[in-house]
Structure 1
Amino acid sequence: MPLTPEEKAAFKRDGVLIRRGLAAPGQVQHAVSLIDGWYRKELVADDIPAYSRRTFVPELGESPELLALYTESGAAKLAASLLGDTGPVTTAQIQIRVPEDAFPGVQPAKAMHVDGVSCPHLDPQELRTFSLLVGVVLSDIDDPKAGALHYLPGGHLAMARWFADEWSLGMTEQVPPEIDHELGTPLLGTPGDVLLMHHLVPHSVAHNLMPFPRVMAYFRVSHPDHAHHRLEALRNPWLDYPPLTEVPCAPTPQE
């Protein structure tokens, strides 16, 4: 089902859109089976910090079963309706928040940040930005304490202003102080739910205090021109989103 005008307006306001049950059960089951087998047989505690910075199950990142979560679920069509056109997506990132009880102190929390900008493990002069993050829920996340992703609705607009007015390439701060202290909204859901989130939406991840792993598959989607204007796209949140240029923001929900 294509995006409605109301969904596009809400995305422009919040920078986030969630489609429940978009990925089919069969697609989810194939992916979960592969990841679960690796988790049980291959995961080594000493490798968890490095996996957390990049991806778990790195050898499966290009597998058809994982890529199908994006290409065959309808997520790719939704991404194209937001960006107008998309570059190829050839790899999946698997992020697992391991249970803190099983792996105490091994997996640090992630503070509010924007992907690919001023990451502690990257050169501050290096940008690894993109346009849109697509996330597919692969485990039940019914409690924020299960290592849920926390995102800041509307934060993409605040970040664009910060990048335009205060930030410069080489700074190590990932977000301004007022955003760094935000708790954000937890992404709760069931396997097959799909998140579409503007690259500029700041987000964080806490420890997983539940007894089971929290599993997400992520896909980084870029407008074909993104690599040629990375800096400008940090300051203009709609540069990579031509279909949304004339779309008005939805009204702010009443408390």
Structure 2
Amino acid sequence: MTSPLTSQTVLSAEQLAQFDEQGYVIIKGALSRTEAEAYRQSILSMMPSNLELPPHWGSYEGRIKPMAGPDDQTFDTPELLPLMTNEKLYRAAGELLQSSALRVMDGSVGITIRNDSHRDQPLSQTLHLDASVPRTADDFTFTVQELQVGGCYYLTDVEPNGGGIHVVPGGHKIVEEECRAAGSGGRHLHQDWKQIEHLESVEITGEAGDFALLHHLMPHGASHNRNPTARVAYFVRWVREDQTWGAGAKPEPGRYDEAQLAAMGDLGRKLFGVEDW
């Protein structure tokens, strides 16, 4: 399949096969190391100098989740918004979603500092799905129109036991098999797939500037960081404009200000639904 933006493909045949079989792929060098460092510093500057975290931020066993506001995890400021309009990642997502008309979302941030507790447990949260399928639905459709792909930039080098995201190789296929075997109601297995305790996971390592790209039915979870370097990550997801459950809808008028619109560029204004494809 050719890229929806140019004739140049991003994913090799081997990477496409890995995504199909394993449910994830690493996009090397989505950012340069210089760019990754600049974004890392921008995110770390959110941390209060007195380390008094705002009450609406999340903090659990070394995982710090800054929040833009109460119940708002999206950091789409002009400084960070270009992370959501990365052309290389857009093209890769388009190849997997088989469409050039995509929407981008998420924009959340994760900082994982060293944590020496629970040495016998690699994960700091239970494996789960972040599926763009409402819990009111009884079943997944398993179509490309339903599919979302997404994951996180590593803005630091993430070595083994460094807080890398954990995945279950082939987990998206396991989820589909269990749902189909269950018949109607497969969406609600394992507490709506938020408590997946019967599968084994592996840690994804990578270099600053790499992007870990996952299938939306991939069981995954955060892990403890046992290393001195704080892991800094920024999360992005893509869906088709015609996504089955409406995730590709346009934003409300006036959602973005002039500074954000300028930072989006031509591609971003389409990805955010401000302009038509």
Q: Could you tell me how far apart the structure 2 residues matched to 1:65 and 1:227 are?
A: 31
2:155 aligned with 1:135: no
Residue segments in structure 1 that go unaligned for 5+ positions in a row: 103-107, 231-255
Runs of 4+ aligned structure 1 residues displaced above 6 Å come to 51-54
Matches within 5 A, 1:111-190: 111-116=126-131, 125=136, 131-144=148-161, 146-166=162-182, 167-169=185-187, 173-175=191-193, 180-190=197-207
Q: Could you tell me how far apart the structure 1 residues matched to 2:90 and 2:50 are?
A: 30
**Percent of pairs identical after alignment?**
23
The SS at the match of 2:127 is strand
The SS at the match of 2:191 is coil
Moved more, 13-22 or 86-95: 86-95
Moved more, 108-117 or 27-36: 108-117
Q: Could you tell me how far apart the structure 2 residues matched to 1:158 and 1:90 are?
A: 26
The SS at the match of 2:42 is helix
Correspondence for 1:87? 102
Q: Could you tell me how far apart the structure 2 residues matched to 1:140 and 1:149 are?
A: 13
Correspondence for 2:245? 228
Q: Could you tell me how far apart the structure 2 residues matched to 1:64 and 1:71 are?
A: 11
Cα-to-partner distance string for 1:115-141 (whole Å, 9 max, x where unaligned) = 1489xxxx95489x8611131101221
Correspondence for 2:37? 29
Aligned length: 218
8 Å contact from structure 2 (residues 25, 213) kept in 1 = yes
Report the CA distance between 1:153 and its aligned residue. 1.2
One-letter code aligned to 2:208: P
Report the CA distance between 1:46 and its aligned residue. 6.8
One-letter code aligned to 1:75: L
The SS at the match of 1:215 is strand
Cα-to-partner distance string for 1:129-167 (whole Å, 9 max, x where unaligned) = 8611131101221122x2221101111011012223324
Q: Could you tell me how far apart the structure 1 residues matched to 2:201 and 2:56 are?
A: 25
One-letter code aligned to 1:111: T
Correspondence for 1:202? 219
Q: Could you tell me how far apart the structure 2 residues matched to 1:116 and 1:12 are?
A: 17
Correspondence for 2:233? 216
2:66 aligned with 1:56: yes
8 Å contact from structure 2 (residues 124, 222) kept in 1 = yes
Report the CA distance between 1:45 and its aligned residue. 4.7
Return the structure number with greater helix share.
1
Moved more, 218-227 or 195-204: 218-227
8 Å contact from structure 1 (residues 75, 134) kept in 2 = no
Q: What is the TM-score normalised by the length of structure 2? A: 0.65
The SS at the match of 1:41 is coil
The SS at the match of 1:217 is strand
- Identify the match of residue 78 of structure 1 among 83, 88, 92: 92
8 Å contact from structure 1 (residues 109, 206) kept in 2 = yes
Correspondence for 2:114? 99
Q: Could you tell me how far apart the structure 2 residues matched to 1:49 and 1:109 are?
A: 17
Residue segments in structure 2 that go unaligned for 5+ positions in a row: 1-8, 118-122, 139-145, 248-277
Q: Could you tell me how far apart the structure 2 residues matched to 1:58 and 1:42 are?
A: 19
The SS at the match of 1:32 is helix
One-letter code aligned to 1:142: E
Correspondence for 2:3? none
Quick one: structure 1 residues 100 and 45, their matched pair in 2 at CA, closer, same or farther if it must change by over 3 Å? farther
Report the CA distance between 1:218 and its aligned residue. 0.8
Correspondence for 2:275? none
Matches within 5 A, 1:37-52: 37-41=45-49, 44-45=52-53, 47=55, 50=58
Tell which structure's C-alpha radius of gyration is larger.
Answer: 2
